[in-house]
A = this chain, B = another copy of it.
Amino acid sequence: MPNKDQYTGCTVSLHRCRCFDRLSREEHAFLDERSVLINYKKGEMICKKGSFASHVMFMEKGLAKVFIDDGINTLVLKIVPSDTLFGLSSISEHNNTFQYSVSAYVDSEIRQIEIGAFKEMLVRNPLFAKEVIETLSMNSTQVNGRFFCLTHKQSYGRLADILICLSDRIFKTKDFDLPLSRKELAELSGMSQETVIRMLKKFDADGLIGLQGKSIQILDHPRLKRISETG
């Protein structure tokens, strides 16, 4: 077999954190009592990089982007779909602030788990800790693949990646209404708004996708895949 590793700019890991499966009924209750459920509206900021991290978060239902920025440019690290634990980077003792910002793509329901309780659970239940380690490690691998892709693939490939990712992993259908603006799609694939628009039109003209405003359908998945792979 060939040793060609393929990376994608995909933003969502297939990994689901199993840490809560490791908890006893009491432990589960312990965390539950130290959690609150918050609703966010589309576009709302869920947490801001640099602010005090008083909790880790669990996306009950919704979709959000995890990103860092310098005031001018934005880099989307990953997307958080339903049933995902996030904000783990703030477990660190010496860095009790969020290491990234998160904002809602759509109306979202998020459970905040008090960080002290979460940390206590790490020490109380080693299997829980082990799953958290697993999740952190899978996250890194995911982000690294995306890192490779954004630095070494060209734009067509990156856009194809994102379209495939949206279809396969996020909406799980070939035909979906994009809750993102072109601008957001652009920062997701690491390029300018204008380029995204031009390339979407190109894909549409070439019969790879169907495009009517926010509604996108994947018409030629294999060819899209090939574009993603070849650049």
Residues of A participating in the B interface, judged by any CB pair closer than 8 Å: 3-7, 49-50, 68-71, 73, 75, 77, 88-95, 99-100, 119, 122-124, 126-127, 129-130, 132-134, 136-141, 143-145, 147-148, 150-152, 190
Residues of B within 8 A of A70 (CB): 4-7, 148, 152
- Which residues of chain B have C-beta atoms less than 8 A from A77's C-beta? 144, 147
5 pairs, CB–CB < 8 Å, chain A vs chain B: A4-B71, A91-B134, A123-B126, A147-B147, A150-B151
Q: Please state the number of chain copies in the assembly.
A: 2
A132 — which chain B residues lie within 8 A by C-beta?
A: 133
Q: Is the pair B5, A89 in contact by a Cβ cutoff of 8 Å?
A: no
- Give the CA-CA distance A203 to B107 in the complex, in Å: 50
User: A91 to B67, alpha carbons, bound, how many Å?
Assistant: 26
CA distance A138 to B137 in the complex (A): 12
Complex Cα distance, B91 from A190, in Å, reads 31
Quote the shortest CB–CB distance from A36 to chain B (angstroms).
23
How distant is the Cα of A90 from the Cα of B5 in the complex, in angstroms? Answer: 17
